[in-house]
Structure 1
């Protein structure tokens, strides 16, 4: 099938040792078709740029943010009804990266010579606890990836100059033949879940600048559900939320780099591209980027990315009417028909319906309070979250075909792995005899 790796490549990928990937990982920046103009490592590749094949790209996407099966939930919490189950996870699926509170709201942007793309995995469902069961299951997983990658347009191009690309990356970043993998997080989802968790533990949320209690908690304070002595500043909560998403984005980017070692690709994990420009914050200057919408208000340090209509829509205006609607839809995602805790929705438990039926449901008064809280944050700050972007980006990874000649000329033996030496023969069939054995040395 087009886009499927050669069987020999699949078999070797499935057998590649994790420790070899961990300890063999290096930032191998010099790819086919590249040049370093000056300095002690000045060099011009003798080869043309070679874009990643569809098969290589699909494998790296699957490794980065792919569907791995049902997640196992959070077995217990001391807050809420002691006879009910934990209700923190926002989505029932597991991904190849861990996600704080089971939010699982991240996707990945891809940029290469063939165009700009985004994945749409977060609202998929799983069929089992473990979707990967060895090399034989990889074809199905890659089919899932292929069916849930949306092309957004032509390749995103940015000038190789200040303020778009850092000086040490201009010779290499986003060049012809390279593929950029940029994980993005729904910071709105994560923040709503952190509000859900923290207020569910009885903590009112306060404005970190004035100390004012946000939202209308009077009913829940009166009945003892919220406890004023547990008040939490909003900025602290939002920083914790950002820590969660940054961690998962970094892991998703690192997953790409680890699997690059197994495939035999070059590249590295970095953060030297202007994310505002990459997402679309310079569209007014003729650089549309990935086409995300932005909001700006006087006094903000920089514009805030909101999402992209139709493909990545956080629960924040303009994608919802207001934050009351956002909270209602967020609650329905957990408890509505077909939601995570709908007993009729398949899941990982032996008594799936019974366990989900006993999951703690918050009261209507609590959901109303969360609506007033989220709306107050939005009205006060003009944005949600108040101190973080609605769409967050961490580090990202670029992949390319390594130019072995460069490393042979300037570096001692061991600068690349056997997987790099054997890559062209194994993944692209460029050989006249048997593939060199894995235990041979360059």
Structure 2
């Protein structure tokens, strides 16, 4: 008896996977209904979400946008037969929440300023854009305050000249007096320029060629315009200052290390609200008589210093996480300290520190609400002024809910960008 063998002479056609394992059905089966217990929890969660939406949606979609007072809101809600929010206050005070008491005819300057902010940030946040856009990013920090505060255009120009003086001082003096002395000169000379020379030079240029726009006092600033201004400036300045403080804390020079450690530990040991009180009340005591030191500028300085101290510790953690071999590799290539930091050490340390850096940024932006305690009219400060209006006295949830949603949008956007940047810079194997 012989065995019969069968050998297939053609390939079996590829078949589609079972419908229950792919697409929406497969995702639901794997993530929500993979077992009896998961199925029960999914159904209970869906029931809770349905109950929550059934309670919240009627309140949120309340047709009270055109109400002129809380009394009118209550009349509209009474006709509906169920509770609802009074959104008329948001419609009526929308521009005030955005711009504070900034002159209405000059709103275009604020809108233009923040549109230019997006243009300036784009090449910094997204490296696939043309690198030539970075020239505008360098110009924008001097253009921004001029658009917001107004006045003569020579003020931001002479301030920018201070940075030019520092750059060329370091570059020209380095061969003759050494790198350390040239670096110190690059910091000292701009400060001397700003304190004693920039003001008279700007006044002289303004008298010869008066180029200016209408000036706006700081007391007219408010709303989200004020919060974004303080937050963006503090965030932009705290990162480079934090890098310098982190490097200073690891320096071999005793004076530099001691000053860095003392500054970081002192600032981190003091609440931000204390620094804001110092900025608003005590700082003028130590200034020469007759000095007019803008309150918003004082607040920006204090918030920046506060954020810089925390940023320095975040970056120091990134530096400590780098293997010693990276430093030795930089030395083996013959790189000096600053080149090694710029090309090898700092890019890796910043990559490691991205979550901590973004968390610090988010905290700084949320902490801008503390300026309401010293009398500045940020969204929270405005809310108290609005609630004092007899027409809207008694509304709470609508105002604070609106403020919370707006802050959530800004902070959530920063968080999403952080995750995008981490994925983009991911070079290791998973």
User: Normalised by the size of structure 1, how large is the TM-score?
Assistant: 0.22
Larger relative helix fraction: 2
Which structure has more relative contact order (CA 8 Å, sep 6+)? It is 1
Structure with max Cα Rg: 2
Larger relative strand fraction: 1
